Amino acid sequence: MNNLKEKYTGKKIDHMDILNIEDAAKKSIGKKSIIVTGVTGQDGSHMVDYLLANTDYEIFGCVRRLSVYNHKNISHINNKRFHLINFDLTDSHSIARIIEKIKPDYFINLAAQSFVGSSWDFAHQTWETNCTSTLHILEAIRLYHPTCRFYQAGSSEEFGDVAYNPQDELHPLRPRSPYGASKTASRQLVKVWRDSYNLYAVQGWLFNHEGTRRGEEFVTRKITKAVARIKNAINNEGPYNMLELGNLDAKRDWSDAEDFVEGIWLMLNQESPKEYVLSSNETHSIREFVELAFKEVGIYGSWEGVGIDEKYVDENSGRVLVAINSKFYRPAEVDLLWGDSTKA
Ligand code: NAP
Ligand code: G4F
């Protein structure tokens, strides 16, 4: 059976066996432990790598049950201190049981419905996953293990329709999407529980951060993947489909995800709970990102047309590299994000 699994997935999966809560609790007896949610995602997987390399805690990574494994971002981990447990942010009972039984020293909640674009289509699910779950985690910590330090993943999307540039910790919360609203409300819960029950609970404001483990629907990975695909086709003199994008003029403040997981850990280990902006302190448009990505592989283009008809055309061949598809526009856009991480 194991051979069959190996053949099918291309890797040994024994270390990916998922523990039930009772067995996980046994592994945590007498040990310092950290629960990390969202470990199949970008930040959660980097956080596990960081914690295994820089601490001696037992790490319990939370995964939700899916019909097909999606463990690519953690398939490289082979460490006896890393365990997987089943968990779903929308299930308050399992959240409570995990905290009650494992009694972690830290709970780092990086799981979320994290795609802003989908949050209009799945507004209720976004709210339940990103906000109601925070209430459940806070209550479980308060009831079962109040010394547990809690990190909740906040976002520059909370600043939304920005009032000034660059945005720092004092910037008002003006979300523009169901996603931004869910993170804003979650922030208020974290503050109220911190103040009311003296919990060490913080929610950082993280500006966009990217990397090779980034989901492919986010604009950076979408562009870089397409550029590689187009470059390969040009090299082989083959056909290619152009890249389709939405709003080219939105601006974002992009950083490296691996830097930010360290920032999260530092935020969790201060004398008292304080919340920070993490950002690169630069802002760039999607348009600039497209130009630089193509330039990086030696393809030079120029913009032609306006609005929905705008295109990025290969100066060498005259072929269209990028076109606009209105389906990638959002009902409301955050036009510009630009962080000020001086305090951090
Ligand atoms: P990501 O790659 O999309 O990962 C999200 C993780 O959440 C995945 O592991 C996903 O599991 C899990 N998840 C989703 N719904 C769940 C549920 N109901 N129960 C349990 N797990 C669930 O996101 P990321 O980029 O690493 O972001 C990490 C956190 O930081 C998120 O809260 C995000 O909103 C926030 N944030 C990210 C950025 C950024 O630029 N990356 C900036 C600010 C804030 P599956 O693999 O099973 O889907
Ligand atoms: O890459 P994006 O989808 O990221 P977005 O919306 O900024 O959200 C990310 O960063 C937030 C922090 O600021 C996180 F909280 C959130 O979880 C997520 O990680 O889009 C970036 C920009 C947007 O303005 C979008 O309208 O790119 C624009 N864009 C233009 N064309 C596109 C596309 N975005 C996507 N995903 N796909 C396009 O085709």
Say yes or no: CB of residue 211 within 6 Å of ligand 2: no
Over the chain (344 residues), the average pLDDT of each successive run of 10 is 41 66 94 98 98 98 91 94 95 96 98 98 98 98 98 98 98 98 98 98 98 98 98 96 98 98 98 98 98 98 97 97 98 98 98
Ligand found nearest the CA of 223: 2
Q: Output the residue whose Cα is nearest ligand 1's atom 41.
A: 209
- In terms of pTM, does the model score above 0.85? yes
Q: How far is the CA of 167 from the centre of ligand 2 (A)?
A: 18
Q: How far is the CA of 212 from the centre of ligand 1 (A)?
A: 15
Contacts of 245 (CB under 8 A, 6+ apart): 219, 222, 223, 286, 290, 322, 323, 324, 325, 328
Residue corresponding to tokens 């804003």 = 184
Ligand 1 pocket, Cβ-based, cut-off 6 angstroms: 37-38, 40-44, 64, 66, 70, 87-90, 110-114, 129, 153, 155, 206, 208-209, 215
pLDDT tens readout for residues 91-132? 999 999 999 999 999 999 999 999 999 999 999 999 999 999
pLDDT tens readout for residues 285-309? 999 999 999 999 999 999 999 999 9
Three-state DSSP at 186 gives: helix
Say yes or no: CB of residue 155 within 6 Å of ligand 2: yes
User: What is residue 13's predicted lDDT score, i.e. its pLDDT?
Assistant: 45
DSSP secondary structure, 279-294, as one string: --S--EEHHHHHHHHH
